[in-house]
Amino acid sequence: MHITDCTHKRHAESILGILNEAIETSTAIYDYTPRPLSSMEGWFRSKKAGGFPVIGLESEESQLLGFACYGTFRGWPAFKYTVEHSVYVHRDHRGQGLGLKLMQELIAVAKAQERHVLIGGVDAANKSSISLHRKLGFVHAGTIKQAGFKFGRWLDLAFYQLTLETPSAPIDG
């Protein structure tokens, strides 16, 4: 296995497959409808425009096993050092520590990019994702009760944050 920078050309279809499986079968994404392949062009474009990473973990046969990324937390300038991240592993490869590897790499990139806070919005019932975040040093920052409704039930959204030592010299503006 190896870490790679994901590109639209090489990885859009695989990332979309992982996302759509999560949409259809889980509360990892508070969305109802699988996304079309055409949506990935804009998704990758917005990541690139923001200087945000999309990191993949590939098998030796170049199969995408999972990916992690981050993007804008909130749109106001004072939030420029804070990002909201996502990590997803293909259903056939969960429980093997791949999410941990992806997140460790994503945290390293966040430090290199002089980010300060990583935020994860996690369904409060997703014990494996909560465990992963805690293992990496994330702390619970609050829960919004009944924030979503999916599969006929209300969902609580828990926020976990990791505060980094970066940036070395933060500035206003």
Read off the pLDDT band of 32 (50, 70, 90).
very high
pLDDT at 173: 83
Rounded Cα distance between 86 and 54, Å, is 10
CA pseudo-torsion sign 145, 148, 154, 160: negative
Percent of the chain whose pLDDT exceeds 90 = 99
Can you state the angle between helices 8-25 and 39-50, rounded to 10 degrees? 110
* Average pLDDT of the residues of the chain: 96
DSSP tag of 91: G
For residue range 19-30, list pLDDT tens digits in order. 999 999 999 999
For residue range 125-145, list pLDDT tens digits in order. 999 999 999 999 999 999 999
Does the structure show a pLDDT above 90 at 100?
yes
Q: What's the distance, CA 10 to chain centroid?
A: 19
Rounded Cα distance between 46 and 25, Å, is 26
Residue 49 burial by Cβ neighbours in a 10 Å radius (0-12, 13-18, 19+):
exposed
pLDDT at 164: 98
The pTM of the full predicted model, rounded to 2 decimals, is 0.94
For residue range 36-86, list pLDDT tens digits in order. 999 999 999 999 999 999 999 999 999 999 999 999 999 999 999 999 999
Read off the pLDDT band of 10 (50, 70, 90).
very high
Domain annotation for the chain: domains and CATH numbers:
2-163 (3.40.630.30)
> What tokens does 163 get?
């505060």
